[in-house]
Amino acid sequence: MRFGVLGTGTVGSAVATRLVSLGHEVRMGAREAANPKARDWAAAQGARASAGTFADAAAFGEIVFNCTMGTASLDALHAAGAQNLGGKVLVDVANPLDFSGGTPTLSTAAAGDSLAERIQKAFPGARVVKALNTVTAAVMGHPEKVPGDSDLFIAGNDADAKRRVTALLEEFGWKSVLDLGDVTAARGTEAYLLLWLRLAGTLKTANLNVRVVH
């Protein structure tokens, strides 16, 4: 399958690399076609990997991953273009974390919504699925890095899109994917990051997750 991955940072690299390792074709997108991180990544990954602009990557992918910084995601997706996202599953991995004030806050907090909802609203033709935002980049494609079967939360309005993303997450190795309902559930999974950051600081590792017990 063909994937577009928007973002060249730790998250974009981790997701894109994992997709290539599973045999998929992946185009990594950046603001500039000449982005050296995307080009180097593609060169290192071989024939199934390529690099381009956000629009190139979105046009290439049958499924598109938003792995940009949360505060830059809407701009990046506008650069990718609504015409390149229409009808496609758009996996939103980003978190609207704002570190500019020193301590992290959610840039969506005052409005009380979520980044995923804003993306869904701005791109009504895309089928947004919030996923993978509750774990660190290294764990996203390698859930075995935390012991036991921890839970991955997904949310979105489109049941078929969530089925496809769940199947892909199972390819990644996730054994427990918990569908929390429509895209407004991203308010919960994004807000959880404020707890996640404290857990990571306390436990002195980012390779952590939670198991829901009930």
Q: Which of 103, 118, 131, 170 binds a second copy (CB under 8 A)?
A: 103
CA atoms within 13 A on the CB side of 3: 29
Residue 203 interacts with a second copy (CB under 8 A): yes or no: yes
Burial 3-37 (b: 16+ CB within 10 A, else e): bbbbbbeebbbbbbbbbbeeebbbbbbbbeeebee
Q: Tell me how far apart the alpha carbons of residues 133 and 123 are, in angstroms, rounded to a whole number.
A: 19
* Nearest residue (CB) to a second copy, 68 versus 150: 150
- The owner of tokens 């046009």 is 59
Minimum distance from CB of 99 to a second copy (Å)? Answer: 12
Piece in contact with a second copy (CB under 8 A), picked from 65-73, 147-155, 156-164, 165-173: 147-155
* Nearest residue (CB) to a second copy, 122 versus 208: 208
Task: State phi, psi for 51 to the nearest 5 degrees.
Answer: -135, 155
Residue 22 interacts with a second copy (CB under 8 A): yes or no: no
Residue 214 interacts with a second copy (CB under 8 A): yes or no: yes
Task: State phi, psi for 75 to the nearest 5 degrees.
Answer: -60, -45
- Both structure tokens of 106: 């959610």
Piece in contact with a second copy (CB under 8 A), picked from 38-46, 54-62, 167-175, 199-207: 199-207
Per CB under 8 A, which of residues 107..126 are in contact with a second copy? 109-110, 112
- Both structure tokens of 13: 């690299």
- The owner of tokens 């045999």 is 23
Piece in contact with a second copy (CB under 8 A), picked from 44-52, 76-84, 158-166, 185-193: 185-193
Cβ 61 vs Cβ 41: under 8 Å: no
Minimum distance from CB of 31 to a second copy (Å)? Answer: 29
Per CB under 8 A, which of residues 127..146 are in contact with a second copy? 146
Task: State phi, psi for 13 to the nearest 5 degrees.
Answer: -65, -45
- Both structure tokens of 126: 């895309």
* Nearest residue (CB) to a second copy, 47 versus 213: 213
CA atoms within 13 A on the CB side of 117: 16
* Nearest residue (CB) to a second copy, 27 versus 187: 187
Residue 196 interacts with a second copy (CB under 8 A): yes or no: yes
Q: What is the contact surface with a second copy in residues (CB under 8 A)?
A: 101, 103, 105-106, 109-110, 112, 146-148, 150, 153, 155, 178-181, 184-185, 187-189, 191-192, 194-199, 201-203, 205, 207-214
